[in-house]
Structure 1
Amino acid sequence: MASERSTPSRDRRRAELREFLRSRRARVSPGDVGLPAGGGRRRTPGLRREEVAVLAGVGVSWYTWLEQGRDIRVSAEVVDAIARALLLAPAERAHLYRLVGLTPPQVVAGPSVPAPPQVRRLLDAWSPRPGYIRDRHWYFTDINDAARAVFGYGEKDHNCLVSFFTNVRYRVLHRHWADTAPDVVAGFRADAARYPEDPEFDRIATELAVTSPEFAELWERHDVAEHASAVKAVDHPDVGTLVFDATLLPLPDLPGHHLILHNPHPGTDTGARLDRLMGTRSLVVTHPG
């Protein structure tokens, strides 16, 4: 039966599991986890298998089988216990989940915070192309000048979803607003489902449904969708049609936050029009009189 279950991919995963557990065990000393160092010299660095088993609350034989990569059933609770025993970082814990064939728990989204300096510099350097960062509730945390100029975002625009339905200028500029709206709402509902205990999603949706009949109707459909990219077309009054490829990039250091970057769509003159738009704005800012 074991040979029937064995596949090249499973064998590679078991080999990686063996080496990963051994390497993590070797880097943790007894003193790191509150155990006495013991007398004499250890044959191998780090913790012994039986010490990891005791710390994790599992049998020594069972842990040995796990480290040997045998075909045994592993629960999420046991993975967490071993991760604590080996002092694994969050990324290492997720890696261990995958190696034993389990889906890692969802990372808890942090509070809405401004981007760290290196991400902010990336956003600034992306100009004159539009870019912004939104948190898990779709609030803007950072936005560059190009995004404001192209999409018509003003000082009162704080939430990407709310602005889509309530910012009249954005709606007029967006060539395919009606076609895009269902996907926007479906994306917000999908994100809300990731955080079922978070009441802020319901608050945003409830308040927006009062002010926007279009949103209310789409929200009642209960559609869900996930999109990592899109094409946006804007009919700008100053420079004409601008077409962008929009790419949504998660920020691992800020769980729940995404960086959304817009690049001129190939085969269009969007780049030249964008340069003209932002160059004009720069002159206006430099010489306000």
Structure 2
Amino acid sequence: MNKKSGLGEFLRMRRSQLQPADVGLRDFGERRRVSGLRRDELAQLAGVGLSYYTRLEQGLSLNASPEVLDALARALDLDEVERAHLHDLARASRRTDTRRRSAPERAGDTTQQLLAAFGDAPAIVLGRRSDVLAWNRTGHALFAGHLDPDIPNQPDQRPNTARLVFLDAHTRDLYREDWPKKARDVVGKLRLAAGQHPDDPRLAALIGELTMKSPEFASMWSEHRVRKWDLATYRMHHPLVGSMRLNLQTLNVPQEDGQRIVVVTAEAGTGSAAALSLLAQAGGTPSGVRSVRQAARTEATA
């Protein structure tokens, strides 16, 4: 992640994604030589000088004030999450290079207690790079039953949700109907993390790996879209219990930078809730699912 070019790349990409009509500018039908807004148009909308704005895009000016950044955010029609990301990129561009290898993240004791308190509801703890730091039994069964349940305890082997979504066949099939939506949510969250933690070498290595190994990731990453979702609904197809429509809610972990717990629920009384309950009772194993189904059939005919 090049900190000095990050701000300019974001400005250029978002400028190219806006048309004059999107921001109230009249288009007189002239043949435009650039896609989206021109630099002079954006500078005019933001109320800044063209030469100054040009230096910002080129990474030659690193001292944009919060007021200028807010003016650019308004001109680009950024939402609150995107505006905060713009400020993160500007702060990153002013930092000296302090990149260092940080200690592995871990889920603290109180976080582990909270994870256990969710009972049979699938829940996982994610770090700032989207590494899986911990999961409960049903969380493992839902998201990664094909992996060793103890693998989050091995820092160098931990699964990463971004890597799973783009490079793991099991996970791609899990989200088969909503994979593009899930993939864009993952990329948007990584974009936010990259702006907030520009000196994190592990995060930079992850982004580089995904860019090299997944053309789909590289394409989405180049769009510079950021997303911060607290609630998302996905259609998921589990190999043991079939299709479900599930709600994923994110809870930030207090006093842990970037850590969050993702908890999964389904609407009560639906087939999705029944399937999720079956997965919890069965322990996420084929034999367990067969046993629970057999017991249900026996009870129904008794």
Q: TM-score, normalization: structure 1?
A: 0.56
1:132 is aligned to 2:134: no
Alpha carbons of 1:255 and 1:157: their partners in 2 closer, same or farther (altered >3 Å)? Answer: closer
> Aligned ranges for residues 20-99 of structure 1 at < 5 Å?
none
State the aligned residue count: 179
Hey, what does 1:170 align to over in structure 2? 171
1:214 Cα deviation from its structure 2 partner: 1.0
Alpha-carbon distance in structure 1 between the residues aligned to 2:174 and 2:240 = 11
**C-alpha contact (below 8 Å) 2:137/2:283 kept by paired residues:** no
Alpha carbons of 1:121 and 1:252: their partners in 2 closer, same or farther (altered >3 Å)? Answer: closer
1:199 is aligned to 2:201: yes
Hey, what does 1:144 align to over in structure 2? 136
1:125 Cα deviation from its structure 2 partner: 3.1
Structure 2: any 5+ residue segments left out of the alignment? 1-90, 92-101, 149-156, 289-302
**C-alpha contact (below 8 Å) 1:112/1:141 kept by paired residues:** no
Structure 1: any 5+ residue segments left out of the alignment? 1-104
**C-alpha contact (below 8 Å) 2:142/2:284 kept by paired residues:** no
1:158 is aligned to 2:150: no
1:157 Cα deviation from its structure 2 partner: 5.5
1:261 Cα deviation from its structure 2 partner: 1.0
Alpha carbons of 1:266 and 1:231: their partners in 2 closer, same or farther (altered >3 Å)? Answer: farther
Structure number with the bigger relative contact order (C-alpha 8 A, sep ≥ 6) is 2
Alpha carbons of 1:259 and 1:266: their partners in 2 closer, same or farther (altered >3 Å)? Answer: same
- Counting aligned pairs with the same residue, the percent is 26
Alpha carbons of 1:157 and 1:176: their partners in 2 closer, same or farther (altered >3 Å)? Answer: farther
Aligned partner of residue 250 in structure 2, secondary structure? strand
1:208 Cα deviation from its structure 2 partner: 1.3
Q: CA RMSD in A?
A: 2.7
1:198 Cα deviation from its structure 2 partner: 2.2
Alpha-carbon distance in structure 2 between the residues aligned to 1:282 and 1:267 = 21
Hey, what does 1:113 align to over in structure 2? 105
> Could you list the per-position Cα deviations for residues 240-264 of structure 1 after superposition, in whole angstroms to 9, with x for gaps in the alignment?
2222211111112212211111111
Hey, what does 1:247 align to over in structure 2? 249
1:183 Cα deviation from its structure 2 partner: 2.4
Alpha-carbon distance in structure 1 between the residues aligned to 2:109 and 2:203 = 28
1:274 Cα deviation from its structure 2 partner: 1.5
**C-alpha contact (below 8 Å) 1:209/1:216 kept by paired residues:** yes
> Could you list the per-position Cα deviations for residues 159-192 of structure 1 after superposition, in whole angstroms to 9, with x for gaps in the alignment?
1111111111111111300232122201210121
1:212 is aligned to 2:214: yes
Alpha-carbon distance in structure 2 between the residues aligned to 1:145 and 1:197 = 34
Aligned partner of residue 283 in structure 2, secondary structure? helix
Q: Which amino acid is 1:260 matched to? A: V
Q: Which amino acid is 1:215 matched to? A: F
Aligned partner of residue 261 in structure 2, secondary structure? strand
Alpha-carbon distance in structure 2 between the residues aligned to 1:125 and 1:271 = 19
Hey, what does 2:231 align to over in structure 1? 229
Aligned partner of residue 182 in structure 1, secondary structure? helix
Match of 2:183 among 181, 184, 209: 181
**C-alpha contact (below 8 Å) 2:246/2:264 kept by paired residues:** yes
**C-alpha contact (below 8 Å) 1:134/1:258 kept by paired residues:** yes
> Could you list the per-position Cα deviations for residues 98-156 of structure 1 after superposition, in whole angstroms to 9, with x for gaps in the alignment?
xxxxxxx9xxxx85433222321221232422111111111111112212211235136
**C-alpha contact (below 8 Å) 1:151/1:234 kept by paired residues:** no
Q: Which amino acid is 2:221 matched to? A: W
Q: Which amino acid is 1:132 matched to? A: I
- Bigger radius of gyration among the two: 1
Hey, what does 2:115 align to over in structure 1? 123
> Aligned ranges for residues 240-279 of structure 1 at < 5 Å?
240-266=242-268, 268-279=270-281
Q: Which amino acid is 1:253 matched to? A: Q
1:238 Cα deviation from its structure 2 partner: 2.1
Q: Which amino acid is 2:141 matched to? A: A
Alpha-carbon distance in structure 2 between the residues aligned to 1:237 and 1:255 = 34
Q: Which amino acid is 2:166 matched to? A: F
**C-alpha contact (below 8 Å) 2:138/2:283 kept by paired residues:** no
